[in-house]
């Protein structure tokens, strides 16, 4: 109810090495069947099809919708312990249990439903971000069209917000607070190494708890290693001036909003 279109996506690795028709396929599609080693690792890997609904490399048909439609994505995982998928939607965000995001984790023999109301027209990717699955063909396209004349409600003009962001290279000390480091330098046993790690982990956890409880450590201290927060409200325009001061190329992109 209240849904314009529904899509069902089954993410699974189909192992054609277990097919009843493996020998027939070898005879039909190889130049010299006698030279095919069914136990060869590369041959066996080539027969594993990283598929969505049985399709690979953008061949899945029918993923079309209109801008501002209410879409329900029903995602299903099936297979073995190799079928751990990180499903990612490009271009538009999804709503999963009340949280706005761009992807979700999908484990074998589990399913989930994500809602989407696309506000961008174009062709976008829906893929599995698990590297082997992505390279193996678990990537497809969905298309959003401007199907009908939709006029947006008149909005009050928002504020122009300008942010200046730079990419800089710095030397980072992962253990800048040496006061809590254990006084063990000549580690000769596995037990001592474990003790040393436990001391460091406990110190980090304690420091985080102090920050979150609002102690003398400012909240910004905990955010120094993350991307800067850009604040805006609905209807605002955001201008980002990006300067790359590093020694290698970097770029930024806006995800889930109109550029």
Residues involved in catalysis: 128
- 89: part of which helix (H) or strand (E)? strand 85-89
CA 166/CA 203 separation, integer angstroms: 32
209 Cβ neighbours under 8 A, 6+ residues apart: none
Q: In sequence order, what DSSP letters do the residues of 119-153 get, joined into one string?
A: -S-EEEEEEE-SHHHHHTT-EEEEEEE--S--PPP
Partners of residue 165 on adjacent β-strands: 242
133 Cβ neighbours under 8 A, 6+ residues apart: 11, 13, 50, 85
């Amino acid at each position: 109810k209240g849904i314009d279109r529904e899509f069902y996506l089954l993410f699974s690795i189909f192992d054609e090495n277990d097919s009843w028709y493996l020998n027939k396929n070898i005879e039909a599609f190889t130049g010299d069947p006698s030279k095919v080693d069914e136990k060869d690792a590369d041959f066996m890997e080539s027969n594993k099809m990283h598929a969505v609904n049985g399709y690979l490399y953008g061949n899945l048909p029918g993923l079309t919708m209109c801008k501002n439609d209410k879409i329900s994505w029903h995602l299903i995982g099936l297979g073995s312990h190799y079928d751990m998928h990180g499903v990612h939607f490009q271009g538009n965000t999804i709503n999963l249990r009340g949280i706005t995001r761009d992807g979700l984790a999908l484990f074998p023999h589990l399913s989930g439903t994500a809602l989407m109301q696309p506000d961008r027209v174009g062709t976008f990717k829906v893929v599995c971000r698990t590297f082997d699955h992505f390279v193996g063909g678990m990537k497809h396209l969905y298309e959003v069209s401007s199907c009908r004349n939709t006029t947006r409600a008149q909005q009050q003009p928002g504020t122009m917000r300008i942010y200046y962001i730079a990419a800089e290279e710095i030397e980072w000390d992962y253990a800048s607070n040496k006061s809590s480091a254990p006084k063990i330098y000549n580690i000769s046993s596995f037990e001592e190494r474990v003790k040393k790690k436990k001391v460091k982990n406990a110190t980090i956890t304690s420091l985080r708890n102090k920050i979150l409880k609002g102690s003398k450590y400012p909240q910004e201290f905990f955010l120094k290693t993350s991307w800067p927060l850009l604040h805006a409200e609905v209807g605002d325009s955001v201008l980002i001036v990006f300067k790359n001061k590093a020694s290698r190329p970097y770029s930024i992109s806006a995800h889930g909003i109109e550029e």
